Chains A and B, each alone.
Chain A
Amino acid sequence: MTPTPRQRAERAGAGLPPLLLAAERVAAGVAPGVHGRRRVGSGETFWQYREYAAGDPASTIDWRRSARGDRLFVRQTEWEAAQCVWLWRDASPSMAWRSSETPPLKRERAEVLLLALASLLIRGGERVALFGTGARPSADRNTLPRLAALLDGSSGEAADLPPPRPVARHAQTVFVGDFLTNPEATLARMRTFAGQGVRGHLIQVLDPAEWELPYRGRVRFEGTEDEGAWLAPRAEGLRPAYRARIAEHTEALRAAARRVGWGFTRHRTDRPATAALLTVYHALSAARGRA
């Protein structure tokens, strides 16, 4: 029996520690969670003792600590807060494709990555939601099954890029897709999100054939989204030019992401999903380190 995407996603995420997102600027009023912010704030974990200063509420004085000396100490806790992460994956027909029997469909792999990420985030106490479905971010036990069900049900939309809907400020986004559209369009869309103060990460999922162009001989290429057809008299002759072009495309995407301060990860479907997950994990951790 082939495992469902959700099973595979949880399996892919099982090896990683709970992913803790670093938040740069978090507004007050964010729902508290287990997310230590390494700064003083409202929370339950002890953070530090500070000498009493005028203006501190008397209730914050730690009498037990203060009794050991002459001065008064205030007990401070670490600020803990949960983050909202909005996830989105490309469900266009170009994603429902694979070059041969071996690698999975690009869309399948995208969903696996998405769910694995969601699974990790929930374990880290983050709240996740599927972008564009209107569901509220949540972090309870049922979130993951609900996400899986939503992914299964929402195959109809054919947008290459996430719709420009408003997102809560300071939320995180992770967009998974092939991003084979014009990099300029992708940059423009990212800008609309970044303008709302949203940080994000792009994961580009490509089939190995889209990377290598392994075809030989006389080949008539046909698009998956009614782009037309292109007859290559000798496909192997096109290979160097194509490779340069796809590398250029990817680099353009990476540059665009960097311009808005987002992360960018490239993933091939013939590589294990864990590898991509690890990369994203590192990217998000790096973001935390910068915090």
Chain B
Amino acid sequence: MGGLALAAPWLLLALAALPALWWLLRVTPPAARRVRFPALRLLMGLQPREETAARTPWWLLALRLSIAALLIVGLADPVVNPPERLHGDGPLVLVIDTGWPAGATWGDTRAAARRWLDRAARSGKRVVVLPTARAAPDTPPGASRALDPAAARERVNALEPHPWPAELAAVREAVDALDFDGAATAVWLSDGVDAAGSRELAVALQRLGGLTVHRPAPTRRAKLLAPPDTGDPSFTVTLHRAGTGAPETVPVVARGADGRPVSTARARFAPDAATARATFDLPLALRNRVRRVAVRDAGTAGGITVLDPRWRRQRVGIAAARDAGRPLISAPYYLERAVRPFAQTRRAPLDELLDATPDVLILPDAGRLPADQRERLRAHIRDGGVAIRFAGPDLAAALAERENGQGKGLFPVPLRGGGRNMGGAMTWDDPARIAAFPDSGSLAGLTPPADVRVRKQVLARPGPAVSERTWARLGDGTPLVTGAREGDGWLVLVHTAADASWSDLPLSGTFVRILRRVSQLGAGTAERGGGTLPPHRLLDGFGELVPPYGAARALPTDADPPPLGPAHPPGLYGRGGGTHAHNLAPAVAAPEPLDDLPDGVTVAGLDGRDARHLGPWLIAAALALWLLDALAAMALRGALPRAGAAVLALGLVTLGAAPAPAQDTTAFAQKAAEATRLGYVETGVANVDRTARRGLAALSRTLARRTSVEPAEPMGVRLGRDPVVVFPMLYWPISRRQGALSEDAAAALRRFLDSGGTLVIDLREAAPGALGGDSPSARALRRLTRAVSIPPLVPVDSEHVLTKTFYLLQSFPGRTTGGRVWVEDTERTGSEVASVIIGANDWAGAWARDDSGEPLHAVTPGGSRQRELAYRVGVNLVMYALTGTYKADQVHVGAILERLEQ
């Protein structure tokens, strides 16, 4: 297919009328606008300077002619890649795969079907549509009547892939039953996966006329995902592909009950391998949350496998002391080895296990249980736990004892006192074999092992319930495994010991299988044996879990799973928590490529170029040009507001602008928060800010050198613009020249104090009583903090924590001495740490050093001792801001020491 064709070529004749249109347009000038104008007298008789355009301008003429031409050509409906005609006089027989692999390439399949229908429509042929999978339980796939192409198109659009296999044999019968004259064109839109009877179908189709098989490229064919082996400790899924040849890596996603991904693994196909495995490395808690595993973007029911509780690794508790005497031949050892493949085990005394509430509780040879333990165990079982008891010498002894006392034990069936020996020196019986497992019990379907001999057992007291509660028997009919429902859980008794002393059973594989089967009882697995499971969530043809649809029926549980089909689509069955997974993977064979086709069949891919109709686009273009023409006509009459164009241009320009300040703030907060930093309030007075920055930088270096606090470079904060809450301590030098705080700035300070920040205010003026007095700094402070609620203050006394957070200090000198330090009165405000500290000694001035490490300002009265003390004040301040009052305990150290001495 290719090229260009016209659907209605005769319409092009209308193009001949274009010259007439041209002439008409040329002589008709545009209509005049009417305007009332008072100064008409002045206007009358004026001659324009240039020649009037009494005729339509040439470009408008060209525009209108092209509109007409576009319309005519558009109506003639040119088609790119026009569909070819079909040969032969019979109908088109369209076989479309709708089995489970079809979902992977359904879009292409449908497009290919559409292309064939286009060809049929162009050739005027009827179409027989044949889906290959059944849509309803009782109607095998069959052929439609010979439909006209439009009806066939509807029919094809209504088709959808199903999550069950195709039935090619039934399709072949339908093909054989077709009856028409002449040679048909047969087309099979295959999913590329071989199925039983595909060659026969191809032969039958070929007999109708020529057969063309479309199949997708090998990498796009559906893959089949097999669920992990329930016994496999690792969580590994197997992926099958149709055909080999190229290496391929397929991502596989494990999802939880809510559909969220839990983990992702990759299945890598070696070039010659048709299967690949993907292992999920998951902790048990996560692994138990996996409810389905799916190939990413598989699009088929084969690409997803749903899991039921059988795949959950259970927690199995084995009630036994941790240090058994003979670890390698004791019962707990056998049990651990048997259970480990499918569950996580834990060995502990019964009391501890009951606290941990494992899914399954195994009691190997527990004799008489204390009454309280028995009741706890019973309650545990009633709440849904499974308890598996094993017989043994202790149990036998307890039974013998009880024979006299007539006590009642916790057993599924009443037991007789004492045990039974077979095959011993003193017995006549041979050791017994295990008989076939009864069909009604939970162990139904297991194969009885031929080589297992049971030499000793405890016996059930005959009664009406015993038979139905017996899940496994010995050859002589005595029960070997009995189980009974207790509340929501199960109580199971194995009538022989869990070690090899009474029987060979613990040495056989049957032991493992019995334990696994029984363990699954406790995990919400839908009850086996009788009854049916209603559909819960089903897979559709595209591998999506959807509510039950169509003719889905309940899944019988007593026999092998029924074949997949409309009655039993794959998915989850069961009600409530107990679900049963019905998957494609074990039921259908691993996919094989569809290669075995008879000679003479045309094989093609699914891709192809669709016929594209240009007509609507041409007509749309004509419409757009017509709009343009209307605008041009308005412009010619002067009616087009020039402002419109300006607004448009303005809008385009403003699109480029973008807000930036928010980003700025975030960047600041990020930078400030990435390390512990000291912050200072930028006053806007250059030398004060510089001193504060250098002072805090020097203090930060001192802190890093002397303490475990290692602050990063200090940062200046513009109150109200930058976020301050990220700083533990904010230093604020008061300057008379600082402008009043804005509303935002005051709010930021309030937030800072409320969120536990420490604000250190430095009046930088060593006047005694500077705070309360009328000094310029105090006035400035009052002016600046008018909108901030400063808590009540007290002067720092010699007992205050500030004097001992790191260094022991008597005074708080800075560049000057003598100024008092005031702190929030924490006794009155009730806060742990003072949020406001007000000093007056210009601490930052004493701290500040230049780049070469020399002090920036002289201190008065002077001396290196004073500067050193100033740094100690700074260290104490920062320590106080960071650690709070924990050093307050030091207050009591004297008393403690005194007490110690006594």
Contacts and interface: CB of A to CB of B under 8 A. Distances in A.
A binds B: yes
Interface of A: 94-95, 97, 106, 178, 180-181, 206-207, 209-210, 213, 215-225, 227-238, 240-242, 245-246, 249
A218 B29 CA distance: 9
Contact of B50 (A220, A228, A234): A234
Contacts of B902: none
Contacts of B31: 218
A218 B32 contact: yes
12 contacts: A178-B39, A210-B37, A216-B637, A217-B639, A218-B30, A218-B33, A218-B637, A222-B35, A227-B40, A233-B54, A237-B48, A238-B46
A241 B40 contact: no
Nearest to B44: A230
Interface in B40-63: 40-44, 46-50, 52-54
A217 B40 contact: no
B47 A241 contact: yes
Contacts of A237: 48-50, 52
Contact of A215 (B29, B636, B638): B638
B326 interface: no
Contacts of A215: 33, 35, 638
Contacts of B54: 233
Contacts, number: 112
Q: Name B's interface SS.
A: loop
B638 A180 contact: no
Contacts of A231: 32
Interface string B773-815: 0000000000000000000000000000000000000000000
A185 to B, nearest CB: 12
Given A237-B50, A240-B49, A245-B46, A224 B38 contact: yes
Contacts of A245: 42, 46
A206 B39 CA distance: 9
Contact of A232 (B41, B43, B635, B639): B43
Contacts of A181: 41
Contact of B636 (A180, A213, A217): A217
A223 B47 contact: no
A97 B52 contact: no
B35 A221 contact: yes
Given A218-B637, A237-B48, A178 B38 contact: yes
Q: Name A's interface SS.
A: mixed
B892 interface: no
A41 B871 CA distance: 92
Interface of B: 29-44, 46-50, 52-54, 635-639
A12 B874 CA distance: 68
Nearest to B638: A216
A232 B48 CA distance: 8
B42 A217 contact: no
Contacts of A222: 34-37, 40
Contacts of A229: 40
Contacts of B36: 97, 221-224
Contacts of B46: 232, 238, 241-242, 245
Contact of B40 (A206, A230, A236, A249): A230
Contacts of B32: 218-220, 231
A237 B42 CA distance: 15
Contact of A233 (B35, B41, B42, B52): B52
Give the most central of A219, A228, A242: most B CB within 10 Å.
Answer: A219
B38 A210 contact: yes
Nearest to B40: A223
A253 to B, nearest CB: 12
Those 3 A-B pairs whose CB atoms lie nearest each other, nearest first: A237-B48, A216-B638, A233-B52
B40 A242 contact: no
Contacts of A242: 42-43, 46
Nearest to B639: A217
B641 to A, nearest CB: 10
B43 A221 contact: yes
Contacts of B43: 213, 221, 230, 232, 238, 242
